[in-house]
Structure 1
């Protein structure tokens, strides 16, 4: 019984995370406008997800304990591209994406950097 409950909880969390940003993405696409979406808050959320994801990867935790984060990162990146697309220039997203990729590697140059990033 416990195994089934754990399986259900695990997959339901993944299902919810897989659809968490989809209504927002569809609303932006349907309205053909990114009005109302705060770029700083989107970037902050994306940074938080990336730091947590990198921490979990760095310390080699089991994938099922953090599998929802790659899904959330992908959805945030899609939303980021939508925001820049409807603002008129997708090329403006490039520095942000480069920054995210750079941060992915910089966070683990030294152990203290990733530990510091995860402190309260």
Structure 2
């Protein structure tokens, strides 16, 4: 009974956190009307990783509570992508991204081997998205347009998903992904906090 209660808390808290996870980042961008320090490559890779992950979960008919937040995260990432393209003056590229992501989503479930291969690469894709954001922060040394709160929430949701994966499915590929994402999300959070203008060390 205690384990069931903890599982429900983990599932619902993750879902709630993901419902608002990207809002702080969206608001920061809208206020700044600038994307300095925010990596477009990171967002595109993250979106690709989310699409692969949710497709894998649905293909193998995993319990919806283990992936229910991903359609919400995908929708928020799409909003972020459109904002970045808008502020960079590249809105025409949105058609290209839409075609690639929708076409890729359809191709993933054509055959079992395709979705399994995509999932084996998913951790690498998602890790690359975090590393791209870290590289962007290291290059600019400015995180004023990066929301540490969003990255902190992402760290929590990955921690919660480590527990739910162990209890509900035991899928090693999924578990490895969440462990790696927890470490990298925390790293981005810490880096964003370090490079906040108010937190910069005075010369």
Once the two structures are superposed, residues 25-55 of structure 1 have per-residue CA deviations (whole angstroms, 9 ceiling, x without a partner) of 1000011122221111111111111000111
- Structure 1 CA distance for aligned equivalents of residues 110 and 5 of structure 2: 40
Unaligned runs of 5+ in 1: none
1:91: Cα distance to partner?
2.2
Name segments (4+ residues, structure 1) moved above 3 Å: none
Unaligned runs of 5+ in 2: 122-203
1:68: Cα distance to partner?
1.3
Residues 65-84 of structure 1 aligned to structure 2 (within 5 Å)? 65-84=66-85
- Structure 1 CA distance for aligned equivalents of residues 19 and 108 of structure 2: 26
Q: Secondary structure at the match of 1:51?
A: helix
Relative to the length of structure 1, the TM-score reads 0.91
| Aligned match of 2:112 | 111
Relative to the length of structure 2, the TM-score reads 0.56
RMSD: 1.4
- Structure 2 CA distance for aligned equivalents of residues 12 and 24 of structure 1: 19
Aligned residues: 120
Once the two structures are superposed, residues 48-74 of structure 1 have per-residue CA deviations (whole angstroms, 9 ceiling, x without a partner) of 110001111111112111011111111
- Structure 2 CA distance for aligned equivalents of residues 89 and 118 of structure 1: 30
Compare CA radii of gyration and give the structure with the larger one: 2
- Structure 2 CA distance for aligned equivalents of residues 113 and 86 of structure 1: 35
- Structure 1 CA distance for aligned equivalents of residues 49 and 68 of structure 2: 15
